Structure 1
Amino acid sequence: MDPQWNEVRALEAEIAALQRECRMLPEPSKKTSADRRLFQEIYQSNSEGLESSKDLRGQLEYLKSELSFLSKLTGINIRNYSKKIEDVTNTEMTDEATKKVLQRHRLSGNCSMITFQLEFQILETQTNGKLSSVITDLNIILEPTDCSELSEFASRAEERRDLFMFFRSLHFFVEWSDYRKRTYKHFKEKYPETVHLSEGAHSQCMEIRSTSRPGFELVVVWRIQIDEEGKVSPVLDLLTKVPLRALKLDKNRVIETAPRSFRTLLGVLGIEAALESLIRLLSAENMQDEDARLRSLR
């Protein structure tokens, strides 16, 4: 056989083998289309996951900003919070359409210098699609506990299981406490020799002592009252400490009627102006002016 013919046959066999291998491979267009679809599915899944993650982050930032706004508005900061849910439905006592869920809540936080811890339970009852809830238990722990008005109020809130009243009254109580502190501090700095705060700016009492007449003293007692409905209001009273001899010489009973006159003064001038009037009455300069006026009358 011609050697050239043999070479041709070998080349034909090699070409046929290559053709068979090509037929076994997937068509380029089909493979590219399948890969493209797979890539699009993966990209869409990742995009949806990314968008979902962005939405969650956006919601979290929004909730944080709302919580920050409420904290600034109310002065109440929640530090820790936990919640447990328990299905307490009793199938023997209720019908199949009734479901009961007990929520156990614990939280702690502060309002200015007052810290609190709360534990309360909420019983949710769902009957025929209607949902109702009630607070079944409430425990309140406040620190510091040296404020009798606040301690008594917390006990009433526990008895009534009224969370809204507790937070609302706590907010206003702290506002009045801070205002009393600022007011006392202002007068102590302005009249350091006349005004005395035996328990510091947080004290309920402010002593106004005469620097030129020892024994003459007025005591302002500023309490913050919380009534049965949780309404917070300031209550200021005046006590007098004067020598017995001065009482005998007080023919017009000015000292005796001073507490009642002070309440009238509060209604007319307001707290700060009324307090300053008392302080100026016993301050050194005014006492000297009064002595000078009396000497001129003689």
Structure 2
Amino acid sequence: MDLCVTIKGVSFLLQAGLGILANALVLLAYAHIRLAEARLQPVDAILCHLALVDLLLLLTRGVPQTMTVFGMRNLLDDTGCKVVIYTYRIARALSVCITCMLSVFQAVTVAPAAGPLLSGLKARLPQLLAPTFAALWFINMAVCIAAPFFSVAPRNGTVPPFTLNLGFCHVDFHDNLSYVLNGVAVSVRDFAFVGAMLASSGFILLLLHRHRRQVRAVRRSQGSTMETRAARTVLMLVILYSVFFGIDNVIWIYMLTVAQVPPVVADMRVFFSSCYASLSPFLIISSNRKLKARMVCATSEQERQAEDGKNSSGKN
């Protein structure tokens, strides 16, 4: 196997494997918290939902992409391509939407109550989570409904013009107008949500800066408050998403200018567009004390059971 292909395959394999494992651990840890505490805090519920859609994204894009790089062919038929591409498009859209939702939610949470309207909104935020999740799923399922109609299995190794070659599937737009309109629609949606998350994150930074002196004394005596830690996690997630979103869209804009996209360019876009889904769970775990506590407890319990098993064997 060619060295470049091997490096590309190992990169996709590590990205998909580690990302799937980390997102699954986040979901399992939150499931444990949900059973122990009867309900999740609003920020935890949003992070849990983010881990779910990122897991779906990696399963529907990272796994088949990795298999294709390693030379596996004819993975999916036309129906399989339609299902996988549709699920991937929804998961990718929800990833940016939920990150934006997280940033806006945290901005409202840390904002000082300036009147009855904001105070009432803060009190209602937990009740608004479920309807917001349902609305985001419904809207993105409707917006992405066109994706299955353009998705087909590869045929005879040829790639028609105005076609996104994913390796395991082709997204054939048939003409330049459909190709560009699809790209512009996706970009406008993504830029709108990224703009909202950047605006709300800037507001959070401004509030943290204004209250730095007041909070400093509290941090020294009691450690960072829960709201401050959550705000920092949100800011880091937004920065992480913005970096990879920028790289992804630079490549995407280039792809819109050519009728035949070179495979290496398409592979680069797939890799960078999946980086957020792979890295965000590690950031969530490292910055969330609840998750780390659950994982440490689970590890300690496994070690204790293993030690008990050894002791029982020794006695026998």
User: Quick check: TM above 0.5?
Assistant: no
Q: Which is strand-richer, 1 or 2?
A: 1
Could you tell me the TM-score, scaled by structure 1's length?
A: 0.23
**Higher relative contact order at CA 8 Å, sep ≥6: structure 1 or structure 2?**
2
